[in-house]
Amino acid sequence: MDMMDKGIDRIVEQLRKGGRNVVFTGAGISTESGIPDFRSQGGIWDQYRPVYFDEFMKSREARIEYWRQKTAFYHDLQKARPNKAHLAVATLYEMGLVEAVITQNIDGLHQASGIPDEKVIELHGSNRRVRCMSCGRISSIEEAHKRIEEGDPAPECECGGYLKPDTISFGQAMPEREVEKAIALSRTADSFLVVGSTLLVHPAASMPGYAREAGAFLAIVNLSETPFDTLCKVLIRGKAGEVLPKIVDRLKAG
């Protein structure tokens, strides 16, 4: 039995015990769905200079550039479907073996895989909805892109506020409620499974630390190194779409 199989068996054994199990996901779970990674070499921030939140709020030119960047990968988002890893996490949830998902991703693919919205904590917001920066009204991303296609490069709300995808930009405050919820889940987890995250972006990257401090069984499935590799109980270097379905299959096999 190779190291990956041993690791999978240890995760399966732990999940079988039940308890409060949390899955934490990053970009690595969604790249297999065709969603581009932001931070890796050749990712979004290699191609574009990020528009900071204060620039967005002060300058129409910055808002036009922001929306131009969003439009560049809007069609990737529209085409993206949950992959085997997302579906495996959804199956674990349906089996009653996962309490909630904390995600750094902004693609909405966990909800699309069948996990209820209230069970997905989106630490960095979502690209699938738009928020008015003045009145807070939520509208659809499709509505905003239709306006852009019709010649409005920086759409505004009826109240005059600036419309922005409901994601956290550089320099923008993290969503307090979501962060608090994620910390509470991490501190009460019996198992904490990290999938597809380098665990470098804070405060999201602090969550495995909270879980470990509280005595949780910490497991990591990721292709590259993380700061927690020597601190976890199980480390699997592998693709999420290959590893997670094996976990589900072994759990179902009894």
Query: Do 113 and 184 fall within a single domain?
Result: yes
Query: Do 137 and 241 fall within a single domain?
Result: no
* Residue 176 in tokens: 């307090």
pLDDT given at position 73: 79
pLDDT given at position 196: 95
Average pLDDT, the chain: 93
Query: Do 155 and 244 fall within a single domain?
Result: no
In terms of residue numbers, what domain contains 145? 36-79+128-167
Peptide bond into 203 cis (omega under 30): yes
**pTM summary value:** 0.93
CATH number at 188 reads 3.40.50.1220
202 is catalytic: no
Strand order across the beta sheet in which 234-236 lies: 120-122, 100-103, 21-25, 191-195, 217-221, 234-236
Query: Do 144 and 249 fall within a single domain?
Result: no
Query: Do 185 and 233 fall within a single domain?
Result: yes
Query: Do 138 and 241 fall within a single domain?
Result: no
CA distances, 253 to each of 84, 206, 246, 247 (Å): 18, 34, 10, 10
Query: Do 144 and 241 fall within a single domain?
Result: no
pLDDT given at position 254: 76
Q: Looking at 86, 110, 124, 145, which residue is catalytic?
A: 124
Query: Do 88 and 6 fall within a single domain?
Result: yes
Query: Do 109 and 27 fall within a single domain?
Result: yes
d(CA 221, CA 162): 39
Query: Do 161 and 233 fall within a single domain?
Result: no
Residue 190 one-letter amino acid:
D
Q: At 240, phi and psi to the nearest 5?
A: -55, -40
- Region 172-198 average pLDDT: 96
Task: Name the β-bridge partners of 219.
Answer: 193, 234
What tens digit of pLDDT does each residue of 128-171 get?
A: 999 999 999 999 999 999 999 999 999 999 999 999 999 999 99
What tens digit of pLDDT does each residue of 17-54 get?
A: 999 999 999 999 998 998 876 554 445 555 678 899 99
Q: Are strands 138-140 and 125-132 parallel, antiparallel or unpaired?
A: antiparallel
CB 153 within 8 A of CB 67: yes
Output the CA angle 219-220-224, nearest 5 degrees: 160
CATH number at 65 reads 3.30.1600.10
Report the first-to-last Cα separation within the chain, whole angstroms: 18
Q: Are strands 120-122 and 100-103 parallel, antiparallel or unpaired?
A: parallel
Query: Do 141 and 118 fall within a single domain?
Result: no
CA distances, 70 to each of 45, 51, 246 (Å): 12, 11, 35
Query: Do 240 and 192 fall within a single domain?
Result: yes
Give the side-chain half-sphere CA count within 13 A for 46: 8
d(CA 186, CA 102): 9
Single residue among 101, 136, 167 that ends a domain in this structure: 167
Quote the number of domains for the chain: 2
